[in-house]
């Protein structure tokens, strides 16, 4: 059992706007909200890295650039360039999508090489790395295989979904991922997490970061629950 204050729960949220038509005005709004709620970071398309770094300068909010998003179907060289470019423009976290085609044909060596190269760039610059699986397209065996590679390469996080596929995070997937990486790698749940109940269930399943565009609604709902119950913290029965 873990006790979380409202402030601690806010710091588990990656405040997200990955829309293709996101404007600078939308980014300004996203960053202001993230600062006001002290979310962990803003999750944005790579091209928005420089703008958001400027908007968030001096704050406690990170800049999370999405790489090869949302399909993952670019070369390792392209992903590495995109990663480095995002970091050069102020990104403090990287969420990249694996090459699903190579996974589906069983080319695990490619997947490991890709992960190793991107994670190495992030480590060099002390930037957090997250590997997006896109679980809805995968068998459990493929998910487990990716977890085994992650345990070897040691990115900071493995992540359930982009939020752009037919389905997003599930409690079952988070539990499976946590079971197979243990404490070596953290798990991020993303995609379809729109309410406080689902948010808490993902934490209980083992997620240590949540990607959502509904962070404000989630935190406000939990805030009201705490007020109604006259409590300062909420209990979360986290998976061991």
* Residues with a known catalytic role: 95, 159, 188
Query: How far apart, in whole angstroms, are the C-alpha atoms of residue 84 and residue 81?
Result: 5
Contacts of 152 (CB under 8 A, 6+ apart): 112
Query: How far apart, in whole angstroms, are the C-alpha atoms of residue 139 and residue 76?
Result: 23
Query: What is the enclosing helix (H) or strand (E) of 30?
Result: helix 24-37
Comparing C-alpha atoms, which of 110, 68, 61, 72 is closest to residue 85?
Answer: 68
Phi and psi torsions of 45, nearest 5°: -70, 150
């Amino acid at each position: 059992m873990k006790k979380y204050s409202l402030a601690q729960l806010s710091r588990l949220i990656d405040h997200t706007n990955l829309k293709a038509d996101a404007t600078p005005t939308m980014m300004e709004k996203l960053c202001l909200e993230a600062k006001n709620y002290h979310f962990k970071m803003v999750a944005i398309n790579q091209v928005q890295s420089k703008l958001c770094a400027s908007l968030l300068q001096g704050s406690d909010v990170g800049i999370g650039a999405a790489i090869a998003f949302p399909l993952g179907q670019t070369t390792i060289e392209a992903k590495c360039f995109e990663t480095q470019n995002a970091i050069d423009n102020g990104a403090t976290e990287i969420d990249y999508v694996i090459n699903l085609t190579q996974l589906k044909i069983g080319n695990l060596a490619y997947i490991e090489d890709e992960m190793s190269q991107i994670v190495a760039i992030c480590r060099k610059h002390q930037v957090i790395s997250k590997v997006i699986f896109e679980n809805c397209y995968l068998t459990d065996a493929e998910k487990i295989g990716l977890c085994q590679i992650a345990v070897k390469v040691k990115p900071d996080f493995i992540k359930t979904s982009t939020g752009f596929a037919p389905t997003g995070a599930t409690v079952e997937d988070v539990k499976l991922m946590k079971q197979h990486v243990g404490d070596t790698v953290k798990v991020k749940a993303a995609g379809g997490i729109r309410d406080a109940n689902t948010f808490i269930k993902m934490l209980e399943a083992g997620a240590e970061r949540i990607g959502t565009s509904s962070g404000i609604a989630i935190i406000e709902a939990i805030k009201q629950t705490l007020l109604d119950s006259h409590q300062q913290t909420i209990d979360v029965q986290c998976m061991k």
